[in-house]
Structures are given as structure tokens and as C-alpha cells.
Structure 1
Amino acid sequence: MSDNLYTFGIHRNLKPADLFAYVALDETAKQLGLDDLTAAAAVLLGQADIPVAGKFAGATAGTSVASLTARKLLPFKVAVRLPMITSVGLKGVRIAFTRNLGAFVGRMVPVVGEIFLAIDAIQIMRHSLTTYNRLAKPEDRLL
């Protein structure tokens, strides 16, 4: 990095790395809103943290608030088997199939939340990089 110093908002004499940190914080504050709160809530409601008895060996332990609610509100059987992501880990993604619409919706709630949060993280970094490169001198720019 160079010895160039920058100003960002009320912050003065910032090194390039400090400038990037402030830009990233500013872009994060701009991006976060009600959509992010909803996405985070979907992820949390989809956590299988409610104990359930009578599951088969190898099944994901517990169930989620989203799954319980969706099964109660959507007790319909569908003609085709719908794929559900039951767990993601070092061993890979486990997929199960169901004809129960409520089970499918309940399992998809956290997946949709995680997708929205990932999109937000990508947008924050893209905007941070663009803003930083616009403010920085050519020798301090990234990518």
C-alpha cells in the first residue's frame, strides 16, 4: 500500500485500508433494511431447534418453527415429489423428497432467507469496491 491519505465523511488522514473499511461500513448501512430483517428472520425461523420424538435414524434432529407452521397451514399432498434441502455441511447437501406441501414450504423458508442475505453481501461488496475505487488514487485501487 502507498502512503496516500484520504478523507471520508468526518474521517481524515485515512490510509487506503482504513478508507476501504469506512466505505464498506457506509455501504452496509445503506444496504441493510426491512428486507434484510425479513431474510434474517426466515433463516432463524428455519433452524431445526425444536426437539421432536420419533424421527428415523439419519434424519435431521429437531424441527423448526417455519416447518411446524407451514405443515399446519398447508396440510396438502401434491402429485409430485418436491425436493427439500435437509442439511448442508462438510459432507455436502442432503436432499429429501416429500409430497407434503407444508413440509416443502417449511424447509424452503431458511433457504430463501439465506439467498437474500447472500445477495445483500454480494451487493455490499460490489458497491464498496466501486465506491472505494472511485475515491482512491490509481495506485491504491483494488481489482
Structure 2
Amino acid sequence: MLFTGRITANAEVRTIKGDKQVTNFTVALNQRYKTKAGEKKEKTAYVNCSYWVNPGLAVYLTKGAVVEIAGWVEAQTWTQQDGTVKADLICSVDNVKLFGSTAAKADETPKAKKAEKKAVAAGGGDDDDDLPF
């Protein structure tokens, strides 16, 4: 399944069985629509995601970030102590595409980011005389 939504809280990395790591996060899917009477409505579904490939991605999966997720989705049900049945949507993530992140390092300002990009685009130094063109 392929879906796009916003991350509801910063991703957490857990270590399982010694050396395996999993990144867990939740994505909110919003649907806006109008009823026949013209009334505006909104529904939200939450999908609990588990990403097993790269735990380093967790620093980018911050609250409010827009992501596109590809993976296997299934419903998981359980019965509470009072007898009511609850359900969750669980996604085993194969691929994550990050569209926007709210993560900003405290020591990195927008001007510093621009200067860094400019230096990389210019070749990274003053020794540009050996270019082949």
C-alpha cells in the first residue's frame, strides 16, 4: 500500500533481540469531504509504522514531517478488559520518502546551510583550475 501523511510524534528506535533495530512512528492520514448538505467534514486515520532497514532515518522522521510510505498494511485487533474490541492499522514499511521535515539542528542556521550548499556547488575550494572544460 502507498499512502502520504504527517508524522504525529518523533520516531523512536528500539533494539530487539540484541542487535536488530526498528524505527517506530505513527502517520496521520486526513480526508476532507463535504456531505450532501454541504457540511464540511474531516476524518483522520492513524497508521503505526515499523521500519527495519535504516535506524539512522529516525532523526528525519520528526513530528509534523510529511512522508510517503510504501509497505504492507494490516489491521490488528484486541479486546480490552471491559470487553470492547479495538483495532489499529499496522504498516511494515518497505520505503519512506520524506517530503518535508520540521527537524532543525540548533547549531545550524539557514544562512549556514546556504553557505554550505554554495561551497559544495562551487567545488568546495579555491582549486578550480584543474577542471576539464
The TM tier, using the shorter chain, reads under 0.3
Q: Please, what TM-score do these two structures have when normalized by structure 2? A: 0.23
Greater relative contact order (CA < 8 Å, ≥ 6 in sequence): 1
Q: Please, what TM-score do these two structures have when normalized by structure 1? A: 0.22
Compare the two structures and name the one with the higher helix fraction.
1
